[in-house]
Amino acid sequence: MVDPDAVFANFVAHADGMDIAVIEGNRGLFDGKDVSGTQSTAELAKLLKAPVVLVVNAKKSTRTIAALVKGCIDFDPDVNVAGIILNRVAGKRHLGILRDSIAKYCGVPVVGAIPNLGDDSALIPGRHLGLITPSEYEYGAELRSMLLDIADNHLDVDGISEIAGAAETITSVRPDRPRGSSGNARIGYFKDSVFTFYYPENLEALERNGGQLVPVSSIADTGLPNVDALYIGGGFPETHADQLAGNRPMMESVRRAAAAGMPIYAECGGLIYLARSLKFEDRVYPMTGLFPIDLAMHAKPVGHGYTSIRVSAPNPFYPVGTSIRGHEFHYSGPEGGMQEVETCMKVEAGVGLGDARDGMVYANTLACYTHIHADGVEDWVSSMVSNAADYEMKRRDRKTENGTMGGGSQLVAI
């Protein structure tokens, strides 16, 4: 999704001034998108010159774990496997054999041994798209306390800190991007228990380029505040469908804003929100109805993985011909035809809306299944901010015109 130079620069910028930067791996250490391990955690560790602390499931295994660890160490000598955390350890005897085996054959320290805690799902509940988000989890404080206790009792925090402290010093060769002057463009974005999937860098980029971010709740607020654009990220509209459908005033506000030309950019869950309806667990919920499309949730993923998209028709955000790299993860898809739907993107890799299509367009609204990262699709940031600024200026001009021609009346903000 993002070029290595941008990944490197982002890491350096966010780690600056920190004592330790923790990089969470994805899937197995060497698992990437192809047999070469492209975009794997191992490749990321090499890019950032980061030591790796390998977490290994030790349940019902002893000496074999040493063989697995040794294999990871030798598989790519450029990956610095500097420590091991053992998970699901049965007891002291089990741990003793594991430690001795790893010490004899691998030569890396064991910096943690977490006991077998039973059913993981009972400790940290999940669902079809992953873990329950903190804002939705009723026992979040208790869970954090429990995890802290596990770390205190079963991790060698000092040993892990030493590994981090021995990491090679890195600096970014990419020049700092200057922060744009703070403009008047106010960009609203849904921020609540429904819509939670936003790359932080996307929000940072909007602010850096002059946008003023305004958080909005799709379920608690009854209408859009005074904003000049709306960004709707991904999330779980299906599990909150009843609440969303019950907040018709907000949906009406969004629909009026779109009809008036407000720039709206929606990704995945945002696309669902702007559809006509959503079928979930044998119930059909009315959505905003901005696009004449009915969606249904499925038991298995409809689209999951990296995407490659070519912009094929005019739209409010991207020039025709633009190539977009993104990511999709959705269990929903269209139910019935899409004859009434106008799209502006050709899917070259991935699923999107199906039939190699993605990107529904209405006025200044664009909704697609693909999630983008601001550093990978720089047109998005400039278009979002400039479109918001243009809309703000037009609203201001209309207010002035109405105030002059209508005896001082003011245009009601939508």
Report which residue type is found at 275.
A
Nearest residue to 271 via CA among 347, 332, 222:
332
Q: Which of 106, 268, 344, 368 is catalytic?
A: 268
Please tell me the distance from the alpha carbon of residue 238 to that of residue 332, in angstroms, as a whole number: 9
Instruction: Indicate if 368 belongs to the active site.
Output: no
Please tell me the distance from the alpha carbon of residue 21 to that of residue 15, in angstroms, as a whole number: 6
Q: What's the distance, Cα to Cα, between the start and end of the chain in Å?
A: 35
Q: Helices (H) and strands (E) in the chain — how many of each?
A: 12, 20
**Contacts made by residues 222-225, CB under 8 angstroms, sequence distance 24+:** 222/247, 222/249, 222/250, 222/253, 223/249, 223/250, 223/252, 223/253, 224/188, 224/250, 224/253, 224/254, 224/257, 224/414, 225/188
Structure tokens at 174: 């990419």
Structure tokens at 265: 């950019």
The SS3 assignment for 279 reads: strand
Please tell me the distance from the alpha carbon of residue 247 to that of residue 268, in angstroms, as a whole number: 20
Residues in the chain, overall count = 414
The dihedral formed by the CA atoms of 219, 221, 227 and 229, expressed in degrees to the nearest 10: 10
Find where tokens 């598989």 sit: 75
Find where tokens 């005074």 sit: 226
Catalytic residues: 268
